[in-house]
Amino acid sequence: MNGMTDNLTLHTDKYQINMMYAHFVQGTDKEKAVFEVYFRKLPFDGGYAVCAGLDRVIQYIQNLHFGEEEIAYLRTQEENYREDFLTTLREFRFRGDLQAIPEGTLVFPNVPLVRVVGTIFEAQLVETAILNFVNYQTLIATKASRIKQVAPHEVLLEFGTRRAQEADAAIWGARAAYVAGFHATSNLRAGMLFGIPTRGTHAHAWVQAHDTEEEAFRAYAEALPEQVTLLVDTYDTLRSGVPNAIKTARLLASRGKRMNAIRLDSGDLAYLSQQARRMLDEAGFPEVKIVASNDLDENIIEGLKAQGAKIDVWGVGTQLITAADQPALGGVYKLVARENNGEFIPVIKISGNPEKVSNPGFKAAYRIISKKTGKAEADYLALQQEEDIQRGERIKLFDPVHPYIFKFIENYEAVPLLATIFTAGELVYERPSLDEIRAYHAEQIRIFWPQYLRKLNPEGYRVNLSAALWKLKMDLIHAHTIM
Ligand SMILES: Nc1ncnc2c1ncn2[C@@H]1O[C@H](COP(=O)(O)OP(=O)(O)OP(=O)(O)O)[C@@H](O)[C@H]1O
Ligand SMILES: O=P(O)(O)OC[C@H]1O[C@H](OP(=O)(O)OP(=O)(O)O)[C@H](O)[C@@H]1O
Ligand SMILES: O=C(O)c1cccnc1
């Protein structure tokens, strides 16, 4: 193949196609199955994660189809596929149901982020891509949110493309960062595709391409007088960079223009920003902002602020886009129910590790919001048909790993977490705009107590099971172990 294909249908693990074929041969390919996506452990030792990836999942599901190129390639991988299998693939479209938690929602371990209800054939095919999208985007949105937590009032710029794990990661990561409260990205394609505001300064190369720094600054200001941010650390930040920037600011002022900012990209950012601020103020430019970059993350930014750094804008690249301290979110896709004689029966995955025992069955997930405080108290997983929670009755919350830990709650609102996205293959979800997602995320942050949001040693937010779900889980564990 010469070009790169846009068709993501084969963006799946080979074992999915193996299982699809084996189901087809066995005649079980049309049996219905229910799979759920969830993660077991929060990333970055944090107290929450920020759900992202749904929009990409929607586009993927809508475009799923095996074209002739895909079919021809599959033939090269297995000579003995039955022809009727390949015909079935040719006619394949996703006709299942899909529910998911909207992007920007704060999410916690064991809560289903996405649920696929479909034939085992289609539900198996989509596992890999859904996990790929949701795991990465949720991870980056979470990292970006942690950065936002330490710099809630400053401007945050996403600068990661050059260090991202290739092009898709760069643009979807830029989008995830914007959802979590970043203000702009340096990636113009992300700007064009998603409508994210874009920002850019200039590189050391601009200064190096001139005989003097002063000349470089002046030429830049003349070329782009409306958006002058000058990088001042190419030679000597305080002895040449900032003084030359001040000269340029004066030149611009003489032409009725204002310089935007200077950028610091090396050295002691606390000290240099304080000195640069003083110099700019003394020269009569208190409105010129200071941008900092250089391998920043939430810990360094927090440290710089504690040191009294005078930084208005943070440019964050590598550490954010690669989620450097936690390169993957371990979201999984597990079978929780399957069709048997026209009815869904719950299934469980047992493990010696109690945290890894899956929560069986077709579940509903609610966020319990206290009517008194307006704050989230816990997430509550119940069987779909349970009604006491929907009526707002007093309920008992069980810790799924330590059932002796429980709590009764009343006077709450139970907000369903999963939205209906596809019904019988039709998109029924009204996709919110990216700015709506971003605003919704900011609102989500406000309904959580700060102890769940803090960066270091946060409180564990409760994700509890209903009594009926707890009993079902116990019954299934016993059915599988007492034999
Ligand atoms: N006052 C400070 N307190 C804590 N960390 C800082 C402070 N100032 C800068 N840093 C961080 O320390 C690290 C310095 O990295 P490094 O030594 O590679 O940079 P540098 O030598 O200043 O610049 P260069 O990028 O040119 O190598 C960066 O992650 C930077 O953000
Ligand atoms: O540091 P990050 O958070 O990844 O942000 C992006 C970095 O990319 C640019 O420089 P680059 O790293 O290409 O070169 P430099 O460090 O030599 O300036 C820029 O000056 C930032 O330092
Ligand atoms: O505009 C910038 O300053 C920028 C963009 C990408 C990476 N580093 C810096």
Q: Is 3.40.1390.10 the CATH classification of the domain at 148-321?
A: no
Tell me the pLDDT tens digit for each residue of 95-134.
999 999 999 999 999 999 999 999 999 999 999 999 999 9
Q: Is the pLDDT confidence value at 382 over 60?
A: yes
* H or E, element range at 435: helix 434-446
Two structure tokens written together for 384: 């779909």
Residue 144 CA, chain-centre distance (Å), reads 9
Closest CA to ligand 1's atom 29: 295
Task: Read off the tokens for 463.
Answer: 């994700």
Q: Please determine, for residue 213, whether its predicted confidence score (pLDDT) is greater than 70.
A: yes
The answer to whether 428 and 422 are in contact (CB under 8 A) is yes
How distant, in Å, are the alpha carbons of 15, 67, 420 from that of 332?
16, 28, 20
- DSSP bridge pairs for 291: 263, 313
* Mean pLDDT, residues 207-223 taken together: 98
CA distance 369 to 416: 11
Give the burial class of 163: count Cβ atoms within 10 A of its Cβ; 0-12 exposed, 13-18 middle, 19 or more buried. middle
Residues 391 and 368: beta-carbon distance below 8 Å: no
Closest CA to 334 of 353, 354, 362: 362
Q: Which amino acid is at 84?
A: D
Cα 204 to averaged position of ligand 2 atoms, centre (Å):
10
Is any ligand 2 atom within 6 A of the Cβ of residue 163? yes
222 pLDDT more than 60: yes
What is the secondary structure of 344-355 as a DSSP string? EEE-----SSGG
What mean pLDDT comes out for the span 16-34?
Answer: 97
Does residue 228 contact residue 221 with C-beta atoms inside 8 Å? yes
* Structure confidence at residue 106 (pLDDT): 98
pLDDT bucket at 341, cuts 50 / 70 / 90: confident
Judged by its nearest atom, the ligand closest to the C-alpha of residue 308 is: 1
Dist. CA 87 → ligand 2 center (Å): 51
Share of the chain above pLDDT 90, in %: 90
Does this model's pTM top 0.90?
A: yes
C-alpha closest to that of 356 among 346, 344, 348, 364? 348
- Each residue's pLDDT tens digit, 435-473: 999 999 999 999 999 999 999 999 999 999 998 999 999
| Separation between Cα atoms, residue 363 and residue 264, nearest integer Å | 51
Structure token digits, residue 102? 């909207």
Whether residue 482 has pLDDT greater than 60: no
Q: Which residue of 266, 271, 273, 325 sits with most ligand 1 atoms within 8 Å of its CB, as the best mutation to test the pocket?
A: 266
Binned at pLDDT 50, 70 and 90, residue 399 comes out as confident
Helix or strand run (H / E) with residue 407: strand 406-409
What mean pLDDT do residues 409-431 have?
97
Backbone phi, then psi, for 17, in 5-degree steps?
Answer: -65, -35
**Would you place residue 4 in the very low, low, confident or very high pLDDT band (cuts 50, 70, 90)?**
confident
Which of 158, 185, 189, 201 to probe ligand 3 with, by most ligand atoms within 8 A of CB? Answer: 201
Is 134:53 a contact under the CB 8 Å cutoff? yes
160 lines ligand 3 (CB under 6 A): no
What average pLDDT is seen over the chain? Answer: 96
Best CA proximity match to 16, nearest among 93, 117, 109, 129: 129
Start-to-end Cα distance in the chain? 53
> What length does the chain have?
483
pLDDT at 1 over 70: no
What's the CA gap between 365 and 368, in Å, rounded? 10
| H or E element at residue 292 | strand 289-292
Q: Kindly report which listed range (17-21, 401-405, 445-449) carries the lowest average pLDDT score.
A: 401-405
The CA 42 to ligand 1 mean position distance, Å, reads: 28
Nearest one of 244, 249, 220, 223 to 232, comparing CA atoms: 244
Span from the CA of 298 to the centroid of ligand 1 (angstroms) = 14
Residue 406 has pLDDT above 90, yes or no: no
Per-domain residue ranges for the chain? Answer: 148-321
Looking at per-residue pLDDT, the higher value among 460 and 79 belongs to 460
Instruction: Say if strands 376-383 and 363-370 run parallel, antiparallel, or are unpaired.
Output: antiparallel
| Contact yes or no for 357/346 (Cβ under 8 A) | no
Q: How far is the CA of 201 from the centre of ligand 3 (A)?
A: 6
Of 11, 55, 89, 44, nearest in space to 297 by CA? 44
96, 116 Cβ separation under 8 angstroms: yes
For residue 405, the model assigns a pLDDT of: 82
- Find out whether the beta carbon of 358 lies less than 6 Å from any atom of ligand 2: no
Query: What's the average model confidence in pLDDT over 160-183?
Result: 98
* Residue 420 neighbours by CB distance under 10 Å: 13
Give residues with Cβ within 8 angstroms of 29, minimum separation 6. Answer: 20, 23, 88, 119, 120, 121
Atom in ligand 2 nearest the alpha carbon of residue 204: 18
Phi/psi of residue 306, each to 5°?
A: -65, -30
* Distance (Å) from CA 159 to ligand 2 centroid: 8
Paired strand residues for 347: none
Predicted local distance difference test score (pLDDT) of residue 413: 96
User: Interior CA angle at 472 toward 471 and 478, to 5°?
Assistant: 90
Report the pLDDT averaged over residues 396-415: 86
Per-residue model confidence (pLDDT) at position 356: 87
pLDDT of residue 2: 54
Residues 6+ apart with CB under 8 A from 340: none
Nearest to 181 by CA among 52, 319, 357: 52
Least confident of 44-58, 80-94, 323-337, 344-358: 344-358
Asked whether 201 lines ligand 2 (CB < 6 A), one says: no
